[in-house]
Structures are given as C-alpha cells and as structure tokens.
Structure 1
C-alpha cells in the first residue's frame, strides 16, 4: 500500500517551518538486533558526543526548538521529552542505547547521530492514512501498562499522529503505541524524520539519505520511496 500523510493547519500554525521526510519501504528484512546494528548504535553515540562537544542534548538548538513546541501545546519537555532528546540522553548515559530489533536499531542510530526525531511504523498495521493533528482529547491510544493492554486518551490540544483506528504516537513523537510499531516480522514500513528550524532542511534530507542507505544495506532488494519534505518554508524547486 502507499501511505498518505497529512499535517493539519493547526499543527502548521503551532510550529511554522516544521518539516517531515518519509521513507516508504517494502520488502524489508526484519529480525533481531545484530552485531552490525549494535556497531551502528555505538558509532551514533560517538557522533553525538562529538556533535554536542560537552553540552547536554537539550542545549542543542534543534532540541531547544522542540522543547519550545512541546511547551506550546501544553507538555512539560523536561518530563515528556521528544524522542531524539530521550535517545540522546540514553546514548550518553552509562546504560547506553537499547538494542530493540534490526529495523528499530537502524532508525535509532540515525536519530542519535543527527539529533533528529525519527520514527517507524509497520505499514501493514496502519489503517487508512496517517495524520498529524491537535487532539480533541477523546481519541483512543492503546498501550500497555503493567503487562496489560490499556486505553489512554491524549490531552485536548496535544499534538498526535493518528490513523483511522486511533492515535499511533502521543505528544508528537514522545511515545509510540504497540499496535503499529516495527517488529522482527515487519516487511513494509514507513520511516518519519521530523525537524524544526533552525535545523536546515538539507540536514534532515542528509539524515534521510543515510537511513535509506542503511535500509538498502540490511534489506537488499527492498523498494524504497523517499517522499520529499513538506514545509511551508521550503522554497520551490527551480
């Protein structure tokens, strides 16, 4: 299937200049984490440390921009961090980055190396198109707590990704639901890279290009479509 992604006018107004790049991938080869993906995560942590030069992740201008947006829709960014900042903190800690599975490791490595939020969804589990909207507050978000499936609801005004079945990710890119996550059995996925000014669009594109290279390397023969960034501030091509 070809997935449709839309960003609401309300989200655009909240975060002018927001850009997302999507990589649609079919014929993926999943599986558990490997020594090769583990090495990519270790390299990403080294690249991050060099990028920050001793600063904390939230002091990076791109992460600071995400904190401002989180505050604007009512979330406390020091408690519910965007996915890139949360991963960066893990990468710099003694615990290091988690090893989840092959596909998740690949996009986590890109997120940490480039300090950009990256997510992945299983296309076969998405119902209808995906939309980035400000929640009404009555949408269903199915997650797991204490080993049991529970249904939560986002706060009114919270920015969420959703499909026809409900919310797939809360607080923009803070917590993904288990229904659509990439697993060891995933064969078709959509990978989303999200950026805000002051990160140049070209840098987000470079991160997407590197992720596409990883996917091609670990899934030989996979069919990838890189959807161009969508941004109100992206100049027209000449």
Structure 2
C-alpha cells in the first residue's frame, strides 16, 4: 500500500515538490491553540499590504490551474482558499486539532496541505489524471465523477479522495473524531518549492511528535523516488 504520483504527473510537472507524513495515534482531544496562533501570525505578516494572489506559491498554482483548463479565481488551490478566508475573517474555523494544525501550517507556508484518514483509503493512493469513472463524495455526501483528465487522488477502489488536484478533498476520507491514522500531503510548484516543502514536512512531523507524542514517518517524493509506504 503506497502513496505516489503517477509518472504522467512528474512528466507534466517537473518542478513539483511533494512531502508526505504518516502518523498514527492522533485524536480529537489535543490542544493546538498556541500552534495555530503562531502559524497564523506568520501568515498575517506575509499578507500585510498584499493579497494571497501576490504570493509566489499561489501564483504558481494559479498558472498550473489555468494550464489545466480551470479558471483560477473559480477553482483555487486549498492554500489560496484558506488564505483568502483568513485575510477576510482574521481566523479560520476550528474543526479538529489535526486539521486546525495543518490549516495553520498551510497558511504560514502558502502551500496546500491535505490530511487524509487512511482507514478510509483502499490500497494504493495515486495522484493521477482521472479516467472519469472514479467516485468522489462531497462533504454533503453527494456523489460526483471527476472529468476525464482531471487530477485526482485515486485509490485502488476507484474512489477519488481529492478533485482538481489541490482544490478540494473528499468528505469521505476527511479527518474526524474517530480518526487515528493520517496521511499528510504537501505539494508546491513555485521556484523554491523543494526547499519550502522540505521545511514544511519537517515542521508537520515535529509538531505531530510534540503534540501527540507519536513518531511520524515522512519523505520527500521525486520522479526518481515517487512512492511512500502507507503500511
């Protein structure tokens, strides 16, 4: 059981930087208020006097979404959507300590960070162009099929755990109160993505260790080292 990007993804996006962290033993009782405040303050400083669309991390995703045929202001990468809401409202809603932590780190780095409940994933999880027959469950439990060629996180059962690459995760594998084992994925395409994703991945791993007193495993994925074991 592996997480990986397909060869087609590495070929189409040679500048992609991807970091993954697998963690066991998380729960919904941890307190992450101090961490959320710290990373939110970093985001607020970065946004001072400008908007999220000015950040190089977001500009790279906008270019990529446009190249994939998506209007960037209609379909935003997850970090842009978070930053936009944070800039307008001053904070993000609290959902679950792990999600709150990942969202705050995503704000600080302006990089999309996904958190997937591995108990809801069947077999390998691959970031790849969709065939179009995959099933995607929204957070309101509606079922959709991605467009052929759209980038999805697809498992061996044909379930799409994310649509439009970094735009929207599935409600099916979202972290919830009973979640214990999680895969955290960070992806970026800007000029300093490799350095920034390495730092982000280490940050996530360090915070998980400190908060849940667990020992995560992590890796940086490349075209020549694209697979990460999930078991």
| Aligned twin of 1:5 | 3
Paired position in structure 2 for 1:134: 129
Normalised TM-score (structure 2):
0.90
Runs of 4+ in 1 over 3 A off after TM superposition: none
Q: What is the deviation of 1:136?
A: 2.0
Aligned residue in 2 for 1:23: 21
Of 152, 155, 165 in structure 2, the residue corresponding to residue 160 of structure 1 is: 152
Give the 3-state SS of the residue equivalent to 1:54 in structure 2.
Answer: coil
Q: For 1:214 and 1:159, how far apart are their aligned partners in 2? A: 29
Counting only pairs closer than 5 Å after superposition, residues 77-156 of structure 1 correspond to structure 2 as 77-94=72-89, 96-145=91-140, 149-156=141-148
Listed one character per residue, the Cα deviations across residues 97-135 of structure 1 (whole Å, up to 9, x for unaligned) are: 111101111111110111111011111111001101111
Structure 1 counterpart of 2:200, from 202, 207, 215: 207
Matched with 1:39 is 34
**Which ranges of structure 2 fall in alignment gaps of 5 or more residues?**
226-231
Counterparts of 2:63 and 2:149, CA distance in 1: 15
Deviation at 1:11?
Answer: 1.9
The count of aligned residue pairs is 225
**Within the alignment, does 1:182 sit opposite 2:182 as a pair?**
no
CA 1:178/1:200 → structure 2, altered by over 3 Å: closer, same or farther?
closer
Question: How many angstroms does 1:231 deviate by?
Answer: 4.6
The aligned residue for residue 236 of structure 1 is none
Q: Does 1:73 align with 2:68?
A: yes
When the two chains are superposed, the root-mean-square deviation of aligned CA atoms in Å is 2.0
Report the Cα offset of residue 186 of structure 1: 1.3
Following TM superposition, by how much is the alpha carbon of 1:24 offset from its aligned partner in structure 2, in angstroms? 0.9
Shift of 1:96: 2.1
| Corresponding position of 1:48 | 43
